[in-house]
Chain A
Amino acid sequence: MLNLLHHLRQLPRDSRDTLFLLGVIAWVVLPQVSHLPLWCSLLSGAVMLWRGWLAVTLRPLPARWWLWLLLVLTVGATLFTHKTLLGRDAGLTLIVVLLALKTLELRARRDAFVVFFLSFFMMLSNFFFSQSLLTAGAMLIALLGLLTALVNAHMPVGKPPLLQAARIAGSMTLLGAPIMVLLFLLFPRLAPLWGVPSDAMSGRSGLSATMQVGTIASLALDDSIAMRIRFEGAPPRQSDLYFRGPVLSSFDGRSWQPLRSGLPARMRPLPNLQVQGAPINYQVTLEPNQRPWLLLLDATPNAPLLTGFEARMTPELQWLVERPITDLLRYTARSYPDFSHGPLRPVAGLQDYLELPFGFNPRTLQLAAELRRDPRYAADDGTQLIAAVLERLRSGGYVYTLDPGAYGRDSADEFWFDRKEGFCEHIASSFVILLRALKLPARVVTGYQGGEQNPVDGFWTVRQSDAHAWAEVWLNGRGWVRVDPTAAVAPGRVGSLQRLQAPRGVITEALLGNVNPALALNLRAVWDAVNNRWNQSVLNYTQRKQLNLLKNLGFESPSWEDLIYLLIGIVVLASLGGAAWTLWDRLRQDPWLRLLAQAAKRLQKAGVQLAPNSPPRRMAEQLSAQLGPEHPAARRIGDWLLRLEALRYAPPAARRSRLATLQHEFKRLHWPT
């Protein structure tokens, strides 16, 4: 090991710099490996190892045709894997390989720049997959590494230690941080400039057609926008904002799926939708979701107005179009928050909503049996049973968390009895399982709940993090009734839209796996808090928060123009500050030296040849040599110069006043021209 270190230290500068840059590239690429095709990771790794080996053994770089060969192979493989060269995934694959291949001709400074710029796109593409604190930390290190490599490349003399370059890069980053904060706070948050390319969403697709416990956790962190809504007239209450997505009615023990009924279509229960009260008119701008789903408020009896698509409603009230939505889609709709639907009396087909897989969740079934046996509920039509279950959720120590850990085979059992924690998905799933065990037809509805209003344009924004799952129960005489069990556990989640906490990542799990549980709990609490802070303050820094900041700064009714004005104002102030500093820096020079320099300037103007840094006495000699010792100007100026010299060695007490005198005299002396 020591031997290796010694060997590394002995390497010529070129090899050392190359190894360092390879390390930085590896660091940038590594987080992406799981999203890259296997061949891409292997090829890039091999190329970089090859380059490292060449650097260590001081061998020449391979011939150009190697590069071309590898490049052609890569383009072919990319086409084969992704069927295209465009789009995010194909682009990412290509960038990684280009980055690796570029190292094979890494000689000139220009190549270092190419690596530098490509790396930034890599870093940004990391954020498509994760914007967590850990990613941010890793990318900060990557940025420091890249800057260090670049600074090092611009220290042409000798073999400067990398630590020195790193220190310079670090101080630059530190000094750049205030600028970053300022821009981050004040740069207006614009809407996307154009539709997001289709495959960009695949890493974080919104709702899914099946619900396997755990998938919504990753959505909750995804702050991207699902849709924007403009309400005509007063917006509805936040607690009425249930946007209906897929209805999941069939459960196989692991995942919830849309109903595949054994009954022929004509025997299935009709939607039988009845609406009353005042409607809500609104316009939706739906981000492409790669699904044929229109997201509409409960309940929408008539098809929304949209062009290019044919919309139809399923028996479970979900609105569908005939093909996936791959572009921004706008439609207007009219919904009635006050509605009822479903058959009022038991009909064939309702039994589909009672089915539970055999052999799962025995304790939940037992709990249901006990509740059923309870004499209080003997004559109940279901209302009281539901109330009892909700009460259990409310008071049974159940906790809403985004980080419930992995659930096992009997997820409902674990939720109800062991862990007692989860998010909407776990809660809704366990709730529906329990209701079905109670012989009440029930189903899971997924969609979005809530949203936030943008005070500037009045649009409501619904984000992927607003994805939600709730339940519907069929009650005799009333039809399907919405029950949101999550509201019982975490009332803040529904209605006022409490922001969610980030789950613990794999790395923290590994870090905290073996420590004292109490300490681990504390650390976890701290980590959660830090993560929450991060989500709140950075990932969730939206235009609304921006405008709130302005309001706090004293703007009456802030708009994004005010942000620009503020930004410009700060830039102007900063420039003025810089100018003042420059002036001060110039004046900071010793006043004695400044006076001497002024005198030297006057003498030089008069044609006196002065050596650099000549002392006043020497200047006087030069002057009298030029003008003759009897020249009155030479005498007077010579005398002044000698007194200036004497001042340099005067006691400090007298210095200030005598300097002022000399400065005064300087202006009145007749300088030769």
Chain B
Amino acid sequence: MPAAPSWPHPLLHPAAHVRAQFQRWWQARLPLTDSVTLTQRNVYILPTRPGLMLGVTLLVLLVASINYQLNLGYLLTFLLAGCSLVAMHVCHATLRGLTMHLIATDAVFTGATAIIGINLENRRPSTRFGIGLALLGSSHWSWTDVPAQANATVHVAFKPERRGLHRVPALTAETRFPLGTFRVWTVWRPAAQVLVYPAPEAHAPALPLGEPRAGDAAAAPGPANGDYDGIRAYRRGDPLKLVVWKKAAKADELVSRDTQQVQRHELWLEPHKTGLPQLEPQLSRLCAWVLQAEQQGLDYGLRLAGLDIKPAHGEAQKRRCLQALALCGA
């Protein structure tokens, strides 16, 4: 794991440095789990600024009651104090006993937003109000209520910066219900990982030329880039992607791209064919090509350092290739 991105300088910001170090140590000792039940041990509580203000208000009310000898003032002060005490308990109980499950997260491309789904399970016979979830350290809260003995699902967005297999970032759940005088929160490190593909290049050049099929006698150069428009009548079993819908609409009968013609040449996607010097842009272009080839219904294979994926097409092939690209060099 690389060092934390930007650490406060120990000399310039000693307090922030110590705090950050403490945070890291403290988060590191949290267990990795995809499902967490909140108990006294992992729910924390501190008064908020309005909570401290309430304390000051109570003190002023008390002093005024003493000074003016107002028994009704005492009653008001103590009732408010009692309510805040109860509110503290209610606030803590809003998270305590809640179970959070991580919903499996789909793979995403670098730069796209991954949506983390969290299922909140409330076994209590009363509603839990105003629970917010966010990535630890961000302030984009998703708020929800969890009805009595029911579940609620919250989505938190996260934008992975780099490709590869990433752990789902640490999450935090918080509530200030009912009075906002206390902040009750928990920190949760999910064990699940999310696969991040390279970002597909935005305007990638057309697919590279195919190679003559191994053992094919007519090893002539393949058709020009992307020029695969031989068509034939639709046959049962043709994938829908091969249907040329524009022509079908005009001709009133289904026509398919003639992949036979295409597949005289094998399309191999390889880093050196991108013509780019560095790995990351290469992978980006390869990623774009995989998507392009898949869209065109071509069979394609991928050759990376120490890895050969035989030409094929379909969702599984696409996934296999993208995964290989994501994990390349890892």
Residues of A near any B CB (own CB < 8 A) = 109-110, 113, 117, 120-121, 123-124, 127-128, 131, 135-136, 139, 143, 147, 150-151, 153-158, 160, 168-169, 172-173, 175-180, 183-184, 187, 190, 192-194, 196, 200, 223-225, 538-541, 582, 586, 612-613
Residues of B near any A CB (own CB < 8 A) = 34-35, 39-40, 50, 53-54, 57, 60-61, 63-76, 78-87, 90, 101, 129-130, 132, 143-145, 176-180
Chain A's closest residue to B102 (CB) is: A612
Which residues of A lie under 8 Å from residue B132 when comparing CB positions?
A: 156
B110 to chain A, nearest CB (A): 27
Known: A124-B73, A184-B74. 12 other contacts (CB 8 A): A113-B50, A124-B64, A131-B71, A154-B129, A154-B130, A176-B85, A179-B81, A184-B78, A196-B67, A223-B71, A538-B72, A613-B35
How far, in whole Å, are A120 and B60 apart by their CA atoms in the complex? 10
Cβ-defined contact, B178 with A168, below 8 A: yes
Cβ-defined contact, A131 with B70, below 8 A: yes
Which residues of B lie under 8 Å from residue A541 when comparing CB positions?
A: 71
Cβ-defined contact, A113 with B53, below 8 A: yes
A-B pairs, top 8 by smallest CB distance, nearest first, are A176-B82, A179-B82, A612-B35, A183-B78, A176-B83, A180-B78, A180-B79, A131-B72
Cβ-defined contact, A117 with B53, below 8 A: yes
Cross-interface CB contact of A175 among B72, B76, B86, B180, cutoff 8 Å: B86
How far, in whole Å, are A157 and B175 apart by their CA atoms in the complex? 12
Most chain A CB within 10 A, of B54, B81, B86, B132, is at B86
Which residues of B lie under 8 Å from residue A127 when comparing CB positions?
A: 68, 70, 72-73, 76
Given contacts A154-B178, A154-B180, contact A194 B67 (CB under 8 A): yes
Given contacts A154-B130, A154-B176, contact A176 B79 (CB under 8 A): yes
A204 to chain B, nearest CB (A): 10
Cβ-defined contact, B87 with A172, below 8 A: yes
A50 to chain B, nearest CB (A): 27
Cβ-defined contact, B180 with A120, below 8 A: no
Which residues of B lie under 8 Å from residue A586 when comparing CB positions?
A: 39
B139 to chain A, nearest CB (A): 14
Cβ-defined contact, B76 with A124, below 8 A: yes
Which residues of A lie under 8 Å from residue B69 when comparing CB positions?
A: 192, 223-225
Which residues of B lie under 8 Å from residue A153 when comparing CB positions?
A: 180
How far, in whole Å, are A514 and B50 apart by their CA atoms in the complex? 48
Cβ-defined contact, B86 with A157, below 8 A: no
Main secondary structure, interface of B, reads: helix
Chain B's closest residue to A579 (CB) is: B40
Which residues of A lie under 8 Å from residue B82 when comparing CB positions?
A: 173, 175-180, 183
Cross-interface CB contact of B180 among A131, A150, A177, A223, cutoff 8 Å: A150
How far, in whole Å, are A173 and B75 apart by their CA atoms in the complex? 12
Cβ-defined contact, A179 with B85, below 8 A: yes
How far, in whole Å, are A200 and B65 apart by their CA atoms in the complex? 13
A199 to chain B, nearest CB (A): 12
How far, in whole Å, are A225 and B67 apart by their CA atoms in the complex? 11
Given contacts A179-B81, A187-B78, contact A612 B101 (CB under 8 A): yes
A8 to chain B, nearest CB (A): 23
B63 to chain A, nearest CB (A): 7
Cross-interface CB contact of B145 among A157, A190, A192, cutoff 8 Å: A157
A554 to chain B, nearest CB (A): 24
Kindly count the residue-residue contacts between A and B in the assembled complex, taking CB atoms under 8 Å apart.
Answer: 145
Which residues of B lie under 8 Å from residue A178 when comparing CB positions?
A: 82
B40 to chain A, nearest CB (A): 6
How far, in whole Å, are A193 and B179 apart by their CA atoms in the complex? 31
Main secondary structure, interface of A, reads: helix
Which residues of B lie under 8 Å from residue A139 when comparing CB positions?
A: 72, 76
Cβ-defined contact, A143 with B80, below 8 A: yes
Which residues of A lie under 8 Å from residue B50 when comparing CB positions?
A: 110, 113
How far, in whole Å, are A451 and B246 apart by their CA atoms in the complex? 105
Cβ-defined contact, B68 with A128, below 8 A: yes
Most chain B CB within 10 A, of A176, A223, A539, is at A176
Cross-interface CB contact of A151 among B39, B68, B179, cutoff 8 Å: B179
Which residues of B lie under 8 Å from residue A172 when comparing CB positions?
A: 83, 86-87, 90, 178
Which residues of A lie under 8 Å from residue B61 when comparing CB positions?
A: 120-121, 124
How far, in whole Å, are A530 and B53 apart by their CA atoms in the complex? 36
Which residues of A lie under 8 Å from residue B84 when comparing CB positions?
A: 176
Cβ-defined contact, A582 with B40, below 8 A: yes
Cross-interface CB contact of B54 among A117, A121, A124, cutoff 8 Å: A117
Cβ-defined contact, A173 with B39, below 8 A: no
Cross-interface CB contact of B75 among A117, A136, A154, A156, cutoff 8 Å: A136
Which residues of A lie under 8 Å from residue B129 when comparing CB positions?
A: 154-155, 157, 160
Chain A's closest residue to B97 (CB) is: A585
How far, in whole Å, are A173 and B68 apart by their CA atoms in the complex? 25
How far, in whole Å, are A124 and B80 apart by their CA atoms in the complex? 12
Cβ-defined contact, A612 with B34, below 8 A: yes
Which residues of A lie under 8 Å from residue B65 when comparing CB positions?
A: 124
How far, in whole Å, are A223 and B57 apart by their CA atoms in the complex? 24
A69 to chain B, nearest CB (A): 28
Chain A's closest residue to B71 (CB) is: A539
Which residues of B lie under 8 Å from residue A135 when comparing CB positions?
A: 72
How far, in whole Å, are A121 and B145 apart by their CA atoms in the complex? 33
Most chain B CB within 10 A, of A117, A156, A193, A223, is at A156
Cβ-defined contact, B130 with A155, below 8 A: yes
Cross-interface CB contact of B66 among A169, A173, A175, A190, cutoff 8 Å: A190
Given contacts A113-B53, A612-B35, contact A147 B70 (CB under 8 A): no
Cβ-defined contact, A113 with B180, below 8 A: yes
| Cβ contacts A to B, 13 pairs, < 8 Å | A117-B54, A124-B70, A136-B72, A154-B129, A156-B132, A157-B130, A172-B86, A173-B83, A177-B79, A180-B81, A192-B67, A194-B67, A223-B69
Which residues of A lie under 8 Å from residue B68 when comparing CB positions?
A: 127-128, 192, 196, 200, 224
Given contacts A127-B73, A541-B71, contact A109 B79 (CB under 8 A): no
A224 to chain B, nearest CB (A): 5
How far, in whole Å, are A206 and B46 apart by their CA atoms in the complex? 47
Which residues of B lie under 8 Å from residue A123 when comparing CB positions?
A: 76
How far, in whole Å, are A131 and B76 apart by their CA atoms in the complex? 11
Chain B's closest residue to A156 (CB) is: B143
A260 to chain B, nearest CB (A): 36
Cβ-defined contact, B64 with A184, below 8 A: no
A185 to chain B, nearest CB (A): 10
B234 to chain A, nearest CB (A): 44
A543 to chain B, nearest CB (A): 11
How far, in whole Å, are A541 and B69 apart by their CA atoms in the complex? 11
How far, in whole Å, are A153 and B180 apart by their CA atoms in the complex? 9
Which residues of A lie under 8 Å from residue B63 when comparing CB positions?
A: 193
How far, in whole Å, are A131 and B75 apart by their CA atoms in the complex? 11
Which residues of B lie under 8 Å from residue A121 when comparing CB positions?
A: 57, 60-61
Cβ-defined contact, B145 with A155, below 8 A: yes
Most chain A CB within 10 A, of B63, B101, B130, is at B130
B46 to chain A, nearest CB (A): 16
Which residues of A lie under 8 Å from residue B143 when comparing CB positions?
A: 156-157
Chain A's closest residue to B48 (CB) is: A113
Cβ-defined contact, A173 with B57, below 8 A: no
How far, in whole Å, are A224 and B72 apart by their CA atoms in the complex? 12
A475 to chain B, nearest CB (A): 41
A593 to chain B, nearest CB (A): 11
Which residues of B lie under 8 Å from residue A154 when comparing CB positions?
A: 129-130, 176-180
Which residues of A lie under 8 Å from residue B83 when comparing CB positions?
A: 143, 147, 172-173, 176
Chain B's closest residue to A609 (CB) is: B191
Which residues of A lie under 8 Å from residue B78 when comparing CB positions?
A: 179-180, 183-184, 187
